Amino acid sequence: MGRITRLKVCAEDGCPELTTQTRCPKHTREFERERESRVHRESQPWRSVYTDPRWPKLRRQVKREEPTCRVCGAPTTDVDHIVSVQDGGAPFDRSKLHGLCHEHHSSKTAQEVDAKRGR
Ligand SMILES: [Zn+2]
Ligand SMILES: [Zn+2]
């Protein structure tokens, strides 16, 4: 008796595959992949700052108020978080933002990355 394996229909809507697990092998793989990518997204919540509707407005405001780079005086192209959001900086606080040219923004970002690596 115990040799009969109970088969169930795959839990995925509309999939007729029979399986001994919750999902057929193909949908198990898809399910795991989806779960991994969700975990990945949730571990980087700061990414959503740049897709937030408040960000473009704030960005425009900073560029208007600080038309030149704080470091070299070149035209502001980038708006930078003084304390990066990854380090717990407030994402939508005007006083926590400043304008930089592209060059100084990328060198600041690179320094932050280096600092994290412990250089
Ligand atoms: Zn399936
Ligand atoms: Zn600059």
pLDDT (tens digit, 9 = 90+) per residue, 2-57?
A: 566 789 999 999 999 999 999 999 999 999 999 998 887 777 777 788 889 999 99
**SS3 at position 80:** strand
Instruction: Report the amino acid identity of residue 22.
Output: T
DSSP strand pairing (18-19 vs 97-100): unpaired
Percent of the chain with pLDDT over 70: 96
In this structure, are residues 54 and 92 in contact, taking their beta carbons and an 8 Å threshold?
yes
Res 119: pLDDT: 64
**Ligand 2 center–CA 42 separation, angstroms:** 33
Cα dihedral 57, 79, 48, 118, rounded to 10, equals -160
**Ligand 1 center–CA 31 separation, angstroms:** 10
Res 1: pLDDT: 55
Which ligand does the CA of 98 lie closest to? 2
Q: Measured between alpha carbons, how far apart are the two ends of the chain, in Å?
A: 64
Which ligand does the CA of 70 lie closest to? 2
Three-point CA angle 49, 52, 57, nearest 5°: 105
Q: Is the pTM of this model over 0.85?
A: no
Is the pLDDT at 80 greater than 90, yes or no?
yes
Which ligand does the CA of 24 lie closest to? 1
**Ligand 1 center–CA 18 separation, angstroms:** 8
**SS3 at position 9:** strand
**What tokens does 105 get?**
């923004």
**Ligand 2 center–CA 72 separation, angstroms:** 4
**Ligand 2 center–CA 55 separation, angstroms:** 21
